[in-house]
């Protein structure tokens, strides 16, 4: 468990996200992601939408509004973890 927190803290530090509870921090958005291979890439919420949509279609679900709701929930969860 401590390893998870230290990895998250390292990534926050690397991406320039502080643990401060200031208003400035609350308004921050995620600008970059670290890919599994370590590559730094600009954050693109459309990629989350596309991945969820592909999974839904694979399950026989073609519902763009459901995909958008799931994308929004996923982004909220990401921000809750990484932007505090």
Integer angstrom CA distances of residue 24 from 17, 28, 45, 83: 10, 7, 21, 11
* Euclidean distance between the first and the last CA atom of the chain, given in angstroms as a whole number: 18
- pLDDT tens profile 34-80: 888 989 898 899 999 999 999 999 999 999 999 999 999 998 888 88
Q: What is the pTM of this model?
A: 0.62
Q: What are phi and psi of 33, to 5 degrees?
A: -130, 155
The answer on pLDDT for 2 being more than 80 is: no
- pLDDT tens profile 4-40: 777 777 777 766 665 555 444 445 677 888 888 989 8
């Amino acid at each position: 468990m401590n390893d998870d927190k230290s990895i998250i803290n390292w990534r926050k530090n690397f991406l320039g996200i502080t643990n401060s509870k200031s208003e400035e921090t609350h308004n921050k958005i995620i600008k970059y992601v670290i890919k599994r291979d370590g590559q730094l890439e600009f954050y693109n919420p459309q990629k989350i939408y596309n991945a969820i949509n592909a999974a839904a279609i694979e399950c026989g679900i073609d519902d763009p509004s459901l995909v958008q709701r799931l994308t929004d929930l996923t982004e909220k969860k990401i921000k809750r973890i990484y932007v505090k």
